[in-house]
Structure 1
Amino acid sequence: MVIQMPPKETSPRPFLKWAGGKSKLIQQYIPYFPKDYQTYYEPFLGGGAVFFYLQPNTAILTDINAELINTYCCVRDNVDELILLLKEHKKRHNKDYYYSVRNNSNGTNLEKAARLIYLNKTCFNGLYRVNSQGNFNVPLGRYENPNICPENLLKLASKVLSQVEIHQADFTEVLNRATSSNDFVFFDPPYHPISDSSYFTAYSQNCFTKKDQELLRDTCAELASRGVKVMLCNSDSEFIKKIYTEINFERYTIKAARSINSNIKNRGMIDELLITSFDNQEFKSQNSEVSVDFVRMTSE
């Protein structure tokens, strides 16, 4: 059985490019998603690829990034007005205009949302990065004709988000909500570095440290003790393997393309981990029929 994705033109999908986005990994994730749950939680929302693929009936989406959450809320609640602002950005786009917009973070919530989308569509590699003062500092990208106003995509996203709860929160806030096997939580945190040179923590003003990774592990363990279905991804590093071995979570190897690197020679396929609190017996029984590139890890 080969699992097919719905056509891109008619299916909701991320409207933002985001470092570590999961759109290209969904095919490998499909066999591991739990089959039965009522409420979906995504505490590191980012580009929201998993949410847009699953399209759950009930969902609570959160992120610590206030600009990102504001943008999702505007797409959900005021997409037509947002599109008008993006069309204006598109008309005026050039190098000088890009930097004038980048250097001005003031405005209404709608103007801030349009600014983020505009910068995301025109900056280098679609990379979200802020400096120590919290100011977006990515240079202009080299695009012939950037898709600054993806009108249909935004309207599809708005429709799917229409009944979804969205708010700014730290990832531990999910402990106040998810309480039983009716809940499914997907965590896509900033990855622990495989090496010192691969460290990327500029997702927000706050670095994601080893202590944060351990707090996330403890959060996952607490959720699992309640029967909550937990899935998370992270780097294939010895530290991550160790801390999730300690709580007896299932671990799988996923093949991912490394695309954000200034040196093209350092791009290519790497291993990542997909970690779950549950053992998908249904998938195991159908293993021989599913066409997915994955390798099950053995315990150390």
Structure 2
Amino acid sequence: MQEQVIARSSTHQGGKGYSYNPLAQPFLKWAGGKRQLVPAIKKYIPRKYTQYHEPFVGAGAVLFSLQPARSIINDTNQELINCYEVIRDHPDELLSLCVNHEKNNSKEYYYKLRSQDRHDKFQELSPIERAARIIYLNKTCFNGLFRVNSQGQFNVPYGDYVNPTIADPAIVNAVSAFLNQRSVKICRGDFSEAVSTAKKGSFVYFDPPYHPISDTSSFTGYSMDGFGSHEQERLKLLCDNLSDRGCQVLISNSNAPLIRELYSDFRYEIVEVKASRAINSVGAKRGKVGELLIYNKYECKSI
């Protein structure tokens, strides 16, 4: 379809009591992260919105690029959401543990920390210890993947990087300030629950696990719960419901036939964009790939 630009939003950057901080940015590497696609995504963000919802927040590239005044963020990945909560509430303690991990970084140390979730004592770790562990594993594992097996155990091999930075204090403190000084509600649950309170004038950005474009391209290790065709169909029906409520909706997904078919009705516009994907276990599959941005066509004028 022909590209139709809605507007580049600047309405919710900064504001009373808070200044937009470019250092508030993703603190993790993330498969499917949207950092390099943010300029394209911003073209399809409404001029005005009352509240921002991101049910699949991931590393938060879009969230941090907007820094909205009011937002609800969510993810089913419990370790990820724990990181957001710890950065909000205990940034200094987290940074201290990350410095210790950085000093001790080695292949042997990596596998020692990785193995913790294979033992019962893992449940005894504090939220701060768990957050520091997952940030360390993320920054030192192969290709920055977050992948767990069917038992929910982190299973990515060591990446063998030279002097990796585990946690940048400037970024962690900026993210903590954003989470504390703006109205950010952090949830952990199903994507439908995360938008249950969305009202007319809200803006919802969905970045779900992408539908595979081939039988061999699916990435299912992000969490123990799969995200198959049924979930994609459920998401589409939810987008219809949000549209009926008067919400602005934007969805990122793969350029798969199923996705094009689901959003082929009159409500939506589909735009293809090219994204660079550096995180893939197969080197030949990294590089520019076609992805879809899908948005509902009408804007809510009376906010």
Report TM bin, short chain. 0.7 to 0.9
Is contact 2:34-2:62 (8 Å) kept?
yes
User: Does residue 254 of the first structure (1) align with residue 273 of the second (2)?
Assistant: yes
Match of 1:125 among 121, 143, 159: 143
Runs of 4+ deviating beyond 3 Å: none
What is the identity, as a one-letter code, of the residue corresponding to 2:167? C
RMSD: 2.0
Is contact 1:221-1:247 (8 Å) kept?
no
Counterpart CA distance in 2 for 1:170 and 1:148 is 30
Counterpart CA distance in 2 for 1:116 and 1:263 is 23
Is contact 1:32-1:280 (8 Å) kept?
no
What is the identity, as a one-letter code, of the residue corresponding to 2:60? G
| Structure 1 residue 11: Cα displacement | 2.9
Match of 1:135 among 142, 147, 153: 153
Counterpart CA distance in 2 for 1:94 and 1:34 is 46
User: Does residue 19 of the first structure (1) align with residue 28 of the second (2)?
Assistant: no
| Structure 1 residue 77: Cα displacement | 0.8
* Residues 262-271 or 190-199, more deviating: 262-271
Counterpart CA distance in 2 for 1:144 and 1:166 is 34
| Structure 1 residue 10: Cα displacement | 4.3
Q: Provide, for residues 158-212 of structure 1, a one-character-per-residue CA deviation record: whole Å limited to 9, x for no partner.
A: 111113111201101034210212x111000000001011011211101101000
What is the identity, as a one-letter code, of the residue corresponding to 1:203? Y
Match of 2:200 among 180, 187, 193: 180
1:148 aligns with 166
Is contact 1:120-1:128 (8 Å) kept?
yes
Counterpart CA distance in 2 for 1:88 and 1:174 is 35
Superposed, 1:167-206 pairs within 5 Å as 167-181=187-201, 183-206=202-225
Match of 1:90 among 78, 82, 102: 102
Q: Provide, for residues 19-67 of structure 1, a one-character-per-residue CA deviation record: whole Å limited to 9, x for no partner.
A: 1000000111121111101110100010000000000001111111111
1:223 aligns with 242
1:113 aligns with 131
How much identity, in percent, do the aligned residues show? Answer: 46
| Structure 1 residue 265: Cα displacement | 2.3
Counterpart CA distance in 1 for 2:112 and 2:266 is 49
Q: TM-score, length-normalised on structure 2?
A: 0.87
Is contact 1:129-1:138 (8 Å) kept?
yes
Match of 2:57 among 42, 45, 49: 45
What is the identity, as a one-letter code, of the residue corresponding to 2:237? D
Q: TM-score, length-normalised on structure 1?
A: 0.88
Structure 1 runs not aligned, ≥5 long: 282-300
